[in-house]
Structure 1
Amino acid sequence: MKFLIVFVALFAVALAAPSGDTQIVRSESDVGPESFNFALETSDGTKTEAAGQLKQVGEEAGISVKGSFSYVDPDGQTHVINYIADENGYQPQGADIPVAPVV
């Protein structure tokens, strides 16, 4: 389980890794045996934050993660996605995510 927590945190940081002249302006992390928190912000406006906690679901242990990420597109518009990832899967929410019509 610790491996999963560390893997998720490192994956998110790698995904948000800056390129070119982009600088990291904030980087925080706290990884424990049953939870983690991290935040990363770069000079180009990209931000990511997540918090995960070990959760008991029936007889199985899993991790529940709440987080968000945002970036600024070439036109200067900021896009924000908030998400929960738990026993119900990855559940993103944001204005840029299409929503299926209600039938």
Structure 2
Amino acid sequence: MFQFICFVALFAFARAAPIDEQLLTTEPVMEMRAPPVDDVPPPVMPEMEVRAPPVGIMEAGLQQSTDGAYNFFYRGEDGSFRQESAVIVNPGSKRQHLKITGSYSYFDANGQEVVVHYNADDRGFVPHGNNISQQISAAAKQNSQLPRVQEQQEPQQPQPQPPVVGGVWI
């Protein structure tokens, strides 16, 4: 208890101490470097990355249902686009889920158009497009077609046994 009181007193004393205004001013900090060595070339500084300006949206749309289904799209000034729609499967059941289909497109750094189509549901995400390897698309599709693992049934409660007296059922 004594240590706690000492700690609280020390903390209160530190909080009550006046603030030195000179400590609050910020001054440029000089970077300390080793003197240059004649046989080591200076480091090469990477060029600054030039970022493209934001792309404006030319058109867009959204429709939503109260049950969770939706449909949206947008198209950018640079020719990029995305569209996606979802419907509810098995509404109101334990197996309720969204079934989503969509696609998107953009132009890569080389000016080539990249187009991806996809499906997604409770079985997984399956993409295919000109920048996705066939092995990935095939594996995703194969995985989505695997048989479902049966949900484990809750074990039934054992039936109560009648009492036994002297080895005889009562």
Q: Please give the TM-score of this superposition, normalised by the length of structure 2.
A: 0.45
Give 1:21 shift: 4.2
**Pairing 1:1-103 to 2, within 5 Å after superposition:** 20-34=53-67, 35-56=69-90, 59-100=94-135
Q: 4+ residue stretches of structure 1 with deviation over 2 A?
A: 99-102
More strand by share: 1
Q: Deviations over 1:17-71 (max 9, x none)?
A: xx72421101100011231000011111210000001111874100000000110
Provide the alpha-carbon RMSD of the alignment: 2.2
- Percent identity between the two aligned chains: 24
Relative CO higher for 1 or 2, CA cutoff 8 Å, sep ≥ 6? 1
What are structure 2's unaligned runs of at least 5 residues? 1-51, 139-170
Residues paired across the two proteins, number: 84
Higher helix share: 2
